Amino acid sequence: MSDLELAKEAVEKAGKILRNNYKEDYGIERKAKHDMVTDIDKRAEEEIINILEKSGHSVYGEETGKHEGDEKTWIVDPLDGTTNFILNNPAFSSAIALLDENDEILLSTIYIPFTDDLFHAVKGEGAYLNGENIFVSSEENLEDSLLVYCHGKKPEDAERAVEIYSELKTDCKDLRQIGSASIEFGMVAQGTSEAFVFPGAPSYDAAPGMLILKEAGGKVTTFEGEEWDLESKTMVASNGKVHEEIVERLG
């Protein structure tokens, strides 16, 4: 099986676990003020790791950390949108990216169980939603744009999100927090949103969606307009057309 086939199988099987346990009884833990985890996050991660380990690559899972393999690394977010899952809000996903030894993102998959939507991208080969090529929107005006945002788990990330909200909310069609970073990337990649703003993005939240967005023709930088990498603390992912104006306002 190819790496892409394994990544697709892993997110779909994890998605099945999420769907089967939605609105059921499960344990919930609060890891930090803005960070929750359920037993289902852990079950889904276990399933994904069992599948991805067949590739021989290392795995970094949000819930279980590093599992040693060869020099390539799978980055795994088994349940992106845990708070939505707990709220009985179906906007959640499973997301995976494969990185080479230089942290270049080689491929990624995102699966949304409730809409049965599967995104995938391989570097240099375009972005796809359920097998169809997708592209970012061509909207050029911020005031006609629909923006989405989320924030990392540190208190300063939430404070920055409040500033972003007051800076942008009234100057665009709308600015919404969807609650699953991978779904928000997917919205920009398929052109239903113009930009996704994310202070405090960790690698497992950013890597899968980031490749899909770039392969759909989008642009990703820090709030300062600098090239984004896995160590960056802020991120703007857009259709490229409204990027500069957002960076000017946030930088």
9's tokens: 């199988």
For tokens 């799978």, what's the residue?
74
Question: What values do phi and psi take at 144, rounded to 5?
Answer: -105, 15
CA distance 229 to 202: 10
> Segment near Ca ion (CB under 5 A), from 52-60, 74-82, 121-129, 238-246?
74-82
The answer to whether 205 contacts Ca ion (rule: CB under 5 A) is: yes
180, 184, 187, 193 alpha-carbon torsion, rounded to 10°: 140
Q: Out of Ca ion, ligand IPD, none, which partner does residue 212 contact, by CB within 5 to 8 A per kind?
A: none
Q: Out of Ca ion, ligand IPD, none, which partner does residue 150 contact, by CB within 5 to 8 A per kind?
A: ligand IPD
Q: Which is nearer to ligand IPD, 152 or 218 (CB)?
A: 152
**198, 180 in Cβ contact below 8 A?**
no
Q: Residue 62 CB, nearest distance to ligand IPD (Å)?
A: 6
Q: Which is nearer to ligand IPD, 122 or 195 (CB)?
A: 195
Element holding 245 (H helix, E strand):
helix 243-250
Q: Out of ligand IPD, Ca ion, none, which partner does residue 58 contact, by CB within 5 to 8 A per kind?
A: none
The answer to whether 245 contacts Ca ion (rule: CB under 5 A) is: no
Q: Which residue is at the shortest CB distance from Ca ion?
A: 80
> Segment near Ca ion (CB under 5 A), from 64-72, 108-116, 150-158, 205-213?
205-213
Q: Out of ligand IPD, Ca ion, none, which partner does residue 151 contact, by CB within 5 to 8 A per kind?
A: ligand IPD
Residue 64 per-residue DSSP state: T
108's tokens: 């990624």
**124, 135 in Cβ contact below 8 A?**
no
Q: Which is nearer to Ca ion, 80 or 194 (CB)?
A: 80
The answer to whether 157 contacts Ca ion (rule: CB under 5 A) is: no
CA distance 120 to 231: 23
> Segment near Ca ion (CB under 5 A), from 1-9, 14-22, 56-64, 168-176?
56-64
- The size of the interface with Ca ion (CB under 5 A), counted in residues, is 5
**199, 161 in Cβ contact below 8 A?**
yes
Q: Which residue is at the shortest CB distance from ligand IPD?
A: 150
Measure the N-to-C terminal CA separation of the chain; round to a whole number of Å: 44
Question: What values do phi and psi take at 67, rounded to 5?
Answer: -120, 115
Question: What values do phi and psi take at 168, rounded to 5?
Answer: -110, -25
> Segment near Ca ion (CB under 5 A), from 16-24, 43-51, 62-70, 193-201?
62-70
Interacting residues with ligand IPD (CB under 6 A): 77, 79-82, 150-153, 179-181, 205
* Position among 3, 45, 47, 77 found at the interface with Ca ion (CB under 5 A): 77
- The site for Ca ion (CB under 5 A) is made up of 62, 77, 79-80, 205
